[in-house]
Amino acid sequence: MSFPEHRPRRLRRTPALRALVRETRLHADDLIVPMFCKEGIDEPVPISSMPGQLQHTLESLRKEAVATAETGVRAFMLFGVPATKDPEGSQAWHPAGIGQRAIAALREEFGDDAVVMSDLCLDEYTDHGHCGVLNDRNEVDNDATLERYRRIAQAQADAGAHVIGPSGMMDGQVGAIREALDVAGRDDVAVMAYAAKFASALYGPFREAAEGAPRFGDRTGYQQDPANADEALREIRTDIDEGADIVMVKPALPYLDVVHRAKRETGFPVAAYHVSGEYAMVKAATANRWLDERRTVLEILTSIRRAGADMILTYHAKDAATWLRDEA
Helical axes 293-307 vs 256-266, angle rounded to 10°: 40
Cβ-proximal residues to 45 (8 Å cutoff; 6+ apart), any chain: 38, 54, 55
Task: From residue 310, give the alpha-carbon distance in Å to each of 66, 107, 195, 296.
Answer: 23, 24, 15, 20
Work out the burial of residue 226: count CB atoms within 10 Å of its CB; fewer than 13 is exposed, 13-18 middle, 19 or more buried: middle
Work out the burial of residue 23: count CB atoms within 10 Å of its CB; fewer than 13 is exposed, 13-18 middle, 19 or more buried: exposed
The answer to whether the beta carbons of residues 101 and 160 sit under 8 Å apart is no
CB atoms within 10 A of CB 219: 19
Euclidean distance between CA atoms 276 and 49, whole angstroms: 9
Alpha carbon dihedral 75, 267, 153, 250, in 10-degree steps, equals -70
Q: Three-state SS for 262?
A: helix
> Peptide bond preceding 44: is omega within 30 degrees of 0, i.e. cis?
no
Q: List 115's β-bridge partners, or say none.
A: 75
The Cα diameter of the chain in Å comes to 73
User: Which residues have a catalytic role annotated?
Assistant: 197, 250
The answer to whether the beta carbons of residues 251 and 278 sit under 8 Å apart is yes
The answer to whether the beta carbons of residues 154 and 184 sit under 8 Å apart is yes
Q: What is the DSSP-derived secondary structure letter of residue 134?
A: B
